[in-house]
Amino acid sequence: MSDSRRRRVTLNDIAEAARVSRATVSLVLRDSPLVHADTRARVETHMRKLGYVYNRAAANLRRQTSSSVALVINDLSNPFFAEFAAGVDEALAAAGYVTLLGGTGESASRQQAVLGSLMEHQPAAIILSPAEGSDASRIAHAVGAHTPLLVFNRELEGAGWDFLGLDNRRGARLATEHLLKQGHRRIAFFGGHADSSSCRERRLGYGDALAAAGVTPEPQWLVECAPTRLEAAAQTGALFVRDPVPTAAVCYNDAVALGLMLGLARRGRRPGHDFALTGFDDIPESAMSVPPLTTLAADPRARGRQAAALVLARLKHAPGAHKRTIVPVQLVVRESSGGADTAAPPSARKRR
């Protein structure tokens, strides 16, 4: 390959090819209205011919600004976070920002590597849904003191950043109260890890509702598993290891609930008939599952847009107290929570 093919194309190369000044090429890159449409078209044509790649990081450094925001997600395979990321990107694009996306796969060490790599691109701000086991001091070390950060979904002890979360405790209480009204007394809490702040809050809401109804949950009704469909399906048997077995479950999230449905079906049980369950999130698939899933609607795409709006507001008003925003959720009743028949023993259901 010749030297001319290996060398990075510069603004001077484009200016020479298009027979304009370097300043005109720079104006084209900044979408300036001062450039005539014909001139802009000629410059852009030569950019494509020469294979010019805009060095955004260098431009940001020169202007002391950044046109990107980093989004770091703990589980990209979860449809909730896919919707959330889409909402973030929509709002950032409308404001003229580019989204830099990173995934951690629930690994705190991977999270450090992702944050370190993204910081090399000098993002204007970061939106982070922390991996399980995250340490606020390590995150602060990776991000530095000058880049605004919004934590989403899981709170971090000792963190000095803005936070956006769901009303987990009240949401789980609403789901549990709904199952109690359906006639269930043996209700499990299924999925998630107890040391996660969101799972801990949802368990508290579940416990609040049972206590108010005078129900003491059996230890075996609290089943932990990774908040994924496959893990939930694999752990379904843990609900039925010893009596008294539950007749219903409040699931940590929709992915867990959908996995539990699969696990129940493999055991010959019909969700919504032989066993009632609820989810949390209201991902698009929840309304289309068989049976449709009763869940807590969190509108993840709207939460993504809200997260973007919060970091953009922080960029405009960097100083100031950190803001903690908790969003209410709404119970959406569908067929998976069944009726009171699922709370009755099999012999009674047959008689009915």
Q: What tens digit of pLDDT does each residue of 55-111 get?
A: 655 555 444 457 899 999 999 999 999 999 999 999 999 999 999 999 999 999 999
Q: What are 352's two structure tokens?
A: 């009915």
Longest dimension (CA), the chain: 90
Residues 149 and 287 in one domain: no
pLDDT value of residue 59: 53
CATH of the domain at 45: 1.10.260.40
Look at residue 271 in the predicted model and tell me its pLDDT: 96
347 and 205 in one domain?
yes
Is 224 within a domain? yes
Residues of the chain with pLDDT > 90, as a percent, come to 75
Cα 5 → chain centroid: 43
Mean pLDDT of the chain: 89
Based on the fold, state whether residues 76 and 208 are members of the same structural domain.
Answer: no
Percent of the chain with pLDDT over 70: 91
How many domains would you assign to the chain? 3
Q: Residue 126's closest CA among 147, 111, 145? A: 147
Look up the pTM and report it. 0.79
At residue 4, does pLDDT exceed 70?
no
- 90 neighbors 83 (Cβ within 8 angstroms): no
Q: Are residues 214 and 336 in the same domain?
A: yes
For residue 343, is pLDDT > 70?
Answer: no
Q: Say yes or no: 142 and 252 in one domain.
A: no
State pLDDT tens for residues 268-303.
Answer: 999 999 999 999 999 999 999 999 999 999 999 999
Mean pLDDT of 227-256: 96
Residue 6: per-residue pLDDT? 53
Q: How far apart are the first and last CA of the chain?
A: 82
Q: Is the domain of 81 the same as that of 186?
A: no
88 within 8 A of 304, measured Cβ to Cβ: yes
Among the residue ranges 148-152, 194-198, 342-346, the one predicted with the least confidence is: 342-346
- Domain-located, residue 60: no
Range of the domain at 102: 67-165+300-326
Instruction: Determine contact, residues 279/260, Cβ cutoff 8 Å.
Output: no
